[in-house]
Structure 1
Amino acid sequence: MPDNARLLLLDRDQVERLMQPADVLEAVKQAFTLHSDREGRVFPVVRERLSTGGVFGIKSGDVQSQGLLGFKAAGFWPANRQVGGEPHQATVMLMDPANGRPVCMIDGNAITTMRTGAAGAWGVKWLARADSTRVCVFGTGVQAAVQLRFALDQLPSLDEVRYVTHGGKPNAQFEAAFAQRCRIEHATDANDAVARADLVITATPGAGALFDLDALQPGTHLNCVGADTKGKRELPEGTLARVKLVVDDREQARQIGETQWAASTPCTELGDLITGKETFERQASDITLFDMTGLALQDLTVARLLYERAVAQGVGSSIAWPW
Structure 2
Amino acid sequence: MQSRLLMLNAEAVAAVLQPDDVLAAVQRAFVLHSERQGRVFPVIREKLATGGVFGIKAGDVPAEGLLGFKAAGFWPSNRQLGGEPHQATVMLVDPATGRPVCIIDGNAITTARTGAAGAIGLQQLARTDSRRLCVFGTGVQARVQVDYALRVLPQVDALCYVSVDRQRDEGFERLFAGRLPAACAADADSAVASSDVIITATPGGGPLFAADALKPGAHVNCVGADTKGKRELPDGLLARARLVVDDLAQSRQLGESQWAPATPCVEIGDLLTGKARLARAPDDITVFDLTGLALQDLTVARLIYEKARDGGLGIEVHWPW
- Kept in 1, the 8 Å contact 2:251–2:257? The answer is yes
| Aligned with residue 188 of structure 1, among 176, 183, 186 | 186
- Give the equivalent residue in structure 1 for 2:2: 4
1-structure distance, mates of 2:251, 2:137: 21
2-structure distance, mates of 1:59, 1:317: 25
2-structure distance, mates of 1:105, 1:237: 41
- Give the equivalent residue in structure 1 for 2:290: 292
Q: TM-score, normalised by structure 1?
A: 0.99
Pairing 1:170-319 to 2, within 5 Å after superposition: 170-319=168-317
- Partner of 1:173, secondary structure, is helix
- Kept in 1, the 8 Å contact 2:173–2:181? The answer is no
- Give the equivalent residue in structure 1 for 2:132: 134
- Partner of 2:272, secondary structure, is helix
- Partner of 2:111, secondary structure, is helix
2-structure distance, mates of 1:213, 1:67: 45
- Give the equivalent residue in structure 1 for 2:149: 151
Residue 99 of structure 1: how far off its partner (Å): 1.1
1:101 aligns with 2:93: no
2-structure distance, mates of 1:209, 1:155: 26
1-structure distance, mates of 2:12, 2:311: 11
RMSD between superposed Cα atoms in Å = 0.6
2-structure distance, mates of 1:126, 1:293: 17
Per-residue CA shift, 1:129-165, capped at 9, x if unaligned? 0000001100000100000011111011101011001
- Give the equivalent residue in structure 2 for 1:122: 120
- Give the equivalent residue in structure 2 for 1:78: 76
Residue 216 of structure 1: how far off its partner (Å): 1.3
Residue 212 of structure 1: how far off its partner (Å): 1.0
Amino acid at match of 1:120: G
Residue 259 of structure 1: how far off its partner (Å): 0.8
Unaligned runs of 5+ in 1: none
2-structure distance, mates of 1:170, 1:55: 29
Task: Give the number of aligned pairs.
Answer: 321
Residue 310 of structure 1: how far off its partner (Å): 1.1
2-structure distance, mates of 1:309, 1:217: 44
- Kept in 1, the 8 Å contact 2:38–2:295? The answer is yes
2-structure distance, mates of 1:125, 1:187: 25
Residue 313 of structure 1: how far off its partner (Å): 0.8
Unaligned runs of 5+ in 2: none
| Aligned with residue 110 of structure 2, among 99, 109, 112 | 112
- Partner of 2:282, secondary structure, is coil
- Partner of 2:320, secondary structure, is coil
- Give the equivalent residue in structure 1 for 2:34: 36
2-structure distance, mates of 1:35, 1:98: 21
- Partner of 2:83, secondary structure, is coil
Pairing 1:62-77 to 2, within 5 Å after superposition: 62-77=60-75
1-structure distance, mates of 2:303, 2:150: 25
Per-residue CA shift, 1:3-51, capped at 9, x if unaligned? 3211100000110111100000000010000000000000000000001
2-structure distance, mates of 1:45, 1:178: 35
Find runs of 4+ consecutive structure 1 residues off by over 2 angstroms: none
Residue 282 of structure 1: how far off its partner (Å): 1.1
2-structure distance, mates of 1:233, 1:51: 22
Identical residues among aligned pairs (%): 64
- Partner of 1:82, secondary structure, is helix
Amino acid at match of 2:48: L
